[in-house]
A and B are shown apart, each in its own frame.
Chain A
Amino acid sequence: MNKLWLIIQREYLTRVRRRSFILATLLTPLAFGLFFVVVYFIFSYEGNDARQIVIVDEGNILNRSISDDKNLYFKFVDTDLQVLLDNFEEMHYEGVVYLPKVHDVMDPNFTIHYYSNNKLTLDLEPRIRERVRKSLYQYKVDQLQLDPKALKALDIKVDIDPHSIKETENETGKLAGQIATIFGFMMGIVMYFTVFIYGMMVMRSVMEEKTSRIVEVMISSVRPFQLMMGKIIGVGAVGLTQVAIWAILIPLILIIVNLAFGIDPQQLEAANPTATQMDPAEAEAMFVQVMAEINRLNWWAMLPLFLLYFLGGYFMYASMFAAVGSAMGDDLGEGQALTLPITIPVLLAFYIMIAVVESPNSSLGVWSSLFPLFSPIVMPARLAFDPPVWQVVLSITFLLATSIFFVWLSGRIYRVGILMYGKKVSMRELGKWLFYRG
């Protein structure tokens, strides 16, 4: 036990102290922040030059009033359009907007004309169109002598408020489905990457020990199983450390970016011209609702379960990677055939998880979240959808049992593999090693 602890310590400390680890751990959140800043600037980019647009409004639809915008100024003139266009070069306008008279108030279509030497840009077009549409709406309301309140009443929105029949006290909110989907998906992805990245890390490190021949010195002091477990646990702790730091730093950096640049997601959306404008009050109501939904999720059950699935999945896959690493020489390419049987289930689980998030209670979802090779990635994605308790219990039981079995199995292969040199190893060979005596 004491030796195992020493090994865990070394495996953990040497990795955590490594410059590459520190850089990756700190730079990843920074990269996230930078990404957001860049995205924000791309979306909010507007030409530097102030542009002036002349409006010829024949039917006085706009009633001589239109709001200016950042770097965009409007000016009404009564000059004849043809004169304006003839002298366009000298007047340095960005463009001319021509609004013809409204001939038929009942016609929902209305065409305005834009004259310019420059192309009508993607940011300019919706701004002009939206302004004209609003004014024209008001103009038509006046012309047709309609009641604005009655019109407002016609602007219908239908919400669906779902209720769970079984559990009356814990009513599912209407956003629950969407939020659960996002959370489930995120959890699935986190599981997928951690299993892969840290599992691979275990494999590489086993190979290194083998090729540098330190392993023979090591196992003259400790049992091979201790060495393997120490490594798996140590690297797993490195993984947890990294994920924990990211879980704190990434939101923190996003908040800092937010404060420093005044970026918030709503503004991002507003800056995006194709997005529908959202009423700030409505957005806030939505935010409150989202938070309420997030709070409603059963975190006290979910967090420990996540940890269990992480540990189960990690130990299962990392031990397999360790076994494969022990069988390989220093040639990574040669090992491809051996890593394939491990990577395929991980990849399959990932794709199943994507499908299962769409329909969490499908038979695919149920069966794959019971199957231990898939469950560490699929079940966390289902957890937000309140799967039946028996399924969770069964799935965890299977996973932990399989995990222990695989650790044992890998230990048997590992203890033979690390001492085997210059031999090309096949899956069959690995199978034989299982039955070697101590």
Chain B
Amino acid sequence: MNILTLEDVVKQYDKHTAVDHVSFAVPEGSIFGLLGPNGAGKTSLIRIITTITRADSGKVFLGNEPLNSNHPSQIGYMPEERGLYKKMKVGDHLMYLAQLKGLRKKEAKAAIEVWFEKFDIQDWWNKKVQELSKGMQQKIQFISTVVHGPRLLILDEPFSGLDPINTNIIKDEIDLMHQQGISIIFSTHRMEQVEEICENIVLINKGRNILEGGVKAIKNQFKENLFEIAYVGQLPEINSSQATIVQNNGRELVVRIAEGSSSDALLRFLLDRGIHIRSFREILPSLNEIFIRQVEEKNQQTLVV
């Protein structure tokens, strides 16, 4: 079951195509990474999903229903550029946003109080937003995104501008919500965060979907058969039909196993020669590398075309 399904979505501004026939699906309950360099069309996509704008063509489904005006109450959206009414009191502000998401007054108050307790900020209710520090404002922003209990959470660069402590607090909350079965879309250009958190990703470049799938599957798809071997002893000559040495500093070795050979064969070969192996590990490409390679490749392709 997918919480969100995009089918052939197109969005054009003037002559610029921001979203160019994009399709992907977000499995229910997963943490999903929406990746792409700046200006790739991530924000345009998110605006379509959050019903801020409408797609020119294509279909968007939330659950099984085509996206409609009742859905915003089931979505929580934290934009990259955060903003709150500076002169409003924190409590009033959260009440306002929660009620706009369809909560009744009592429900909203109860929900906010739960979050205040969670973050231990009960005395903030009557403070004005402008009296809070930036990090504190981010917390409020986060609460406003989740207070109405959405099925789908969309976080656009959620950690930008947060210090490590607050980053961890928000990260923990995201984990918690993930455990509760809430689906989360994570939009970012910072890959190391995605590797840690996301299960599935879609990579967008120039408005197009260029890569999609589970993080592990993608890493395997792009692996280069690189292995790191820590060893003690005199390294024998390695036949290039077996593997090529990428790097060697006398203690650690990086090799690319040749096609037709296997890591097992290489390991056996080294052990037979009396080398003492301390560790043996496959090097999978980081998403960052895949990301950069894919983006550059596609850009080059479009240049050639």
Contact = CB atoms under 8 A, between A and B. Distances in A.
A438 B83 CA distance: 23
B300 to A, nearest CB: 29
Interface in B106-147: 141, 144
B96 A10 contact: yes
Contacts of B88: 14
Interface string A14-43: 100010000000000000000000000000
B72 A213 contact: no
A276 interface: no
Nearest to A429: B14
Contacts of A10: 96
A437 B56 contact: yes
Given A212-B85, A214-B84, A419-B52, A220 B99 contact: no
B276 interface: no
Contacts of B72: 220-222
A272 B72 CA distance: 69
Given A222-B100, A419-B52, A437-B54, A217 B87 contact: no
Contact of B79 (A18, A216, A222, A432): A216
Interface in B44-60: 47, 50-54, 56
A219 interface: yes
B139 to A, nearest CB: 15
Contacts of A217: 77-79, 83-84, 97, 141, 144
Contacts, number: 61
A220 B51 contact: yes
A95 to B, nearest CB: 65
**Which DSSP category, helix, strand, loop or mixed, fits chain B's interface?**
loop
| B-side interface size class | 20 to 34
A220 B75 contact: yes
Nearest to A213: B83
Interface in B38-96: 47, 50-54, 56, 69, 72-73, 75, 77-79, 81-88, 96
A437 B12 CA distance: 9
A82 B283 CA distance: 126
B50 A215 contact: no
Contacts of A209: 83
Contacts of B141: 217
B14 A216 contact: no
A424 interface: no
| A-side interface size class | 20 to 34
A218 interface: yes
Nearest to B148: A221
A217 B52 CA distance: 10
Interface string A201-218: 000000001001111111
A212 B52 contact: no
A18 B73 CA distance: 30
A438 B11 CA distance: 10
B206 interface: no
B100 A212 contact: no
B256 interface: no
Interface in A410-434: 419, 432
Contact of B77 (A18, A214, A220): A220
A200 to B, nearest CB: 18
B296 to A, nearest CB: 27
Interface of A: 3, 6-7, 10, 14, 18, 209, 212-223, 419, 432, 436-438
Interface of B: 13-14, 47, 50-54, 56, 69, 72-73, 75, 77-79, 81-88, 96-97, 99-101, 141, 144
14 contacts: A3-B100, A10-B96, A18-B87, A212-B83, A213-B79, A214-B85, A215-B83, A216-B81, A217-B84, A220-B50, A220-B51, A220-B72, A220-B75, A221-B72
